[in-house]
Amino acid sequence: MTKQQANWSPYDNNGGSCVAIAGADYCVIAADTRMSTGYNILTREYSKICKLADKCVMASSGFQADVKALQKQLAARHLIYQHQHNKQMNCPAMAQLLSNTLYYKRFFPYYSFNVLGGLDNEGKGCVFTYDAVGSYEKVGYSSQGSGSTLIMPFLDNQLKSPSPLLLPVQDAVTPLVEAEAVNLVKTVFASASERDIYTGDKLEIVVVTADGIRREYMELRKD
């Protein structure tokens, strides 16, 4: 008797790309707004970016239902933290929380590829990049999602910073100013939209600075 195969998968891939870049006193987080399934576009105006705390923003691509569940889980845990500690979580703490939350579903993973961006306690930009089961590291820039293989080499070329593992220690954040970083992000998504069918429609850019969070949009190719 042949083994019974599942005729239904709990997962789906809604496509899309996200990028985050850390600067000396800012952090840029961006994602496209297209949500697809297979060859169909479900909507052109879906936000993949979620504000987790005052200085901490997450962008996730992959299966958006899992992403939504993950965002709710994190928001709930953040609220508990605020009740217990009477303050907002800082970015490195949220990064560890996200890693643990992902790993707690190690045997039934969230199909969610995340980048977390924000300002650390000293006001410097920080970006954390994750795989789907929770391994993470602090980096100067990162991209995830269907266009990441197109975007990452370009960011490596423009922003390649010394590895944080080198001794003597060298700074990982980019020397670019905020306006240059935002321009770079726009360029990167324009290129990714040309060659990745799942990336396009509109680009949502979130910039986290000491003054707060600013949101910006740019049109991308709709084909």
Nearer CB in complex with other proteins: 175/183:
175
Q: How far is the CB of 155 from other proteins (least distance, A)?
A: 13
Nearer CB in complex with other proteins: 33/64:
64
Residue 212, phi then psi, degrees to nearest 5: 135, -155
Distances (CA, A) of 173 to 30, 159, 163, 210: 17, 9, 10, 16
Nearer CB in complex with other proteins: 58/98:
98
As a whole number of angstroms, the longest Cα–Cα distance in the chain is 66
CA 39 to mean position of chain CA atoms: 23
Rounded to 10 degrees, the C-alpha dihedral 149/157/214/46 comes to -10
Q: How far is the CB of 105 from other proteins (least distance, A)?
A: 6
Q: How far is the CB of 100 from other proteins (least distance, A)?
A: 7
Q: How far is the CB of 63 from other proteins (least distance, A)?
A: 10
Q: How far is the CB of 116 from other proteins (least distance, A)?
A: 15
As a residue count, the chain comes to 223
Nearer CB in complex with other proteins: 111/198:
111
Nearer CB in complex with other proteins: 29/95:
95
Q: How deeply is 22 buried, as exposed, middle or buried, from its count of CB atoms within 10 A (0-12, 13-18, 19+)?
A: buried
Q: How far is the CB of 144 from other proteins (least distance, A)?
A: 9
Question: Which of 125, 61, 67, 114 lies closest to 91, judged by CA?
Answer: 125
Binding site for other proteins (CB under 8 A): 3-4, 6, 10-11, 99-100, 102-109, 111, 129, 131-137, 139, 149, 163-167
Q: Name residues whose C-beta falls within 8 Å of residue 197's C-beta, 6 or more positions apart in sequence.
A: 15, 36, 39
Nearer CB in complex with other proteins: 159/207:
159
- For residue 101, the 8-state DSSP code is H
